[in-house]
Amino acid sequence: MRETVERLREEALAAVAAAARPEELEALRVRYLGRKGELTRILRGLGQVPPEERPALGALANRAREEVEAAVASRLQSLREEEAAKRLSAEAVDVTLPGVGWPVGQRHIVHQVRREIEEFFLHLGFSIAEGPEVELDYFNFEALNIPRGHPAREAQDTFFLTDELLLRTHTSPVQIRVMRSLSPRLPVRVICPGRVYRRDTPDPSHLPSFHQIEALAVDRGVTFGDLRGTLELFARTIFGPATRVRFRPSYFPFTEPSAEVDVSCMCGGKGCGVCGGAGWVEILGAGMVHPRVLEHGGYDPEEVSGYALGLGVERTAMLRHGIDDMRLFLQNDVRFLRQFA
Ligand code: PHE
């Protein structure tokens, strides 16, 4: 009997020491110490042992039992610790490794300049209005005092979709749409940014599609002086505080009088590629809204007056950043675009 206890004890301890997983330990515990376990059975069977051997054998078996119990517990503990250590090292993050760089995008330079111009007018109390790029002949031409057969139609090489439908050649049609939706309320103070289309072959200063921003102010008593003041502030804000503005008489069918507006070149008149030595560069067209245009918009030209202006966003970006080829805006060469991050 003694030998059996000894053997079971050694066997159990060896098995416990070799167990690699908690489930194995549980199986061993049941096998040796459970209700029908091998050591348990010996303790139960003490009754059959001669009385003089009972105390010694009982003590031996109890000690073996306790020892195996303790071994199971401590092995379980160290397995758990090993497991935790393994998991921790597998999940470990080396915070000293270089990170993964996520390339961050940026707004296109045309978009940036558009935003800046919008900001300027928003601060003056203008709001933003948009119109469709596929436009009716009526809004693009007719209501702007450019009837059929008018030579100004030829000047704007138009993409016609049908007789009545076209890709808008400027943002001026939004003037009419806005006035119609607001009339007879005053004042009208809106800007209309957006894409326009002209049948031009791309070259350094032409693209078949580019962006304009229209501004329109209508109220009682709006004067050319208001237009001039707005544009002087505009030029200083967008091109720098030393910028000067020059008005040249011009002609647009939808404004009277009309002007083309130049700003002093950033070369200071010394002559550069941007101004060609002239010292001035044209930035936009403007004028007092033609009475017939006010009528088409639903306002009485005897009662109200207004000014309007239209500028090219690409052109403004080119002048400000010394860009000499408009096609760069569409080529998506990141080496070009990144310069404006
Ligand atoms: N629509 C004109 C153009 O595209 C610009 C302009 C707008 C001129 C408003 C006067 C007033 O050339």
- Is residue 178 in a domain? yes
315 CB near ligand 1 (under 6 Å) = no
Q: Whose CA is nearest to atom 4 of ligand 1?
A: 170
Q: Residue 174, class by beta-carbon neighbours within 10 Å (0-12 exposed, 13-18 middle, 19+ buried)?
A: buried
Residue 214: name the closest of 272, 296, 131 by CA: 131
Domain edge (last residue) among 63, 90, 117: 90
> Atom 12 in ligand 1: which residue has the minimum CA distance?
285
Q: Are residues 116 and 61 in the same domain?
A: no
What digits encode the pLDDT tens for the residues 213-234? Answer: 999 999 999 999 999 999 999 9
Contact 252, 175 (CB under 8 A): no
Residues 329 and 182 in one domain: yes
Shared domain check, 120 and 26: no
Is 71 in the same domain as 144? no
Residues 47 and 116 in one domain: no
Q: Are residues 145 and 271 in the same domain?
A: yes
Give 141's DSSP letter.
T
Q: Is 253 in the pocket of ligand 1 (CB under 6 A)?
A: no
The best mutation among 252, 288, 311 to test binding of ligand 1, ranked by most ligand atoms within 8 Å of the C-beta, falls on: 252
| Same-domain pairing of 85 and 234 | no
For residue 155, the model assigns a pLDDT of 63
The residue-averaged pLDDT of 127-151 equals 95
pLDDT surpassing 80 at residue 274: no
What range does the domain containing 276 cover? 109-340
Q: Is residue 86 part of a domain?
A: yes
Task: Tell me if 100 is assigned to some domain.
Answer: no
Q: Is a pLDDT exceeding 90 seen at residue 107?
A: yes
Say if pTM beats, i.e. exceeds, 0.85: no
Say yes or no: 81 and 125 in one domain.
Answer: no
Predicted confidence (pLDDT) at residue 134 exceeds the cutoff of 90: yes
For residue 156 and ligand 1, the question of a CB distance below 6 A is answered with no
**What tens digit of pLDDT does each residue of 68-100 get?**
888 888 888 888 888 899 999 888 888 898 888
Are both 213 and 319 inside the same structural domain?
Answer: yes
CA of 330 to the centre of ligand 1 (A): 23
Residues 65 and 169 in one domain: no
Domain count, the chain: 2
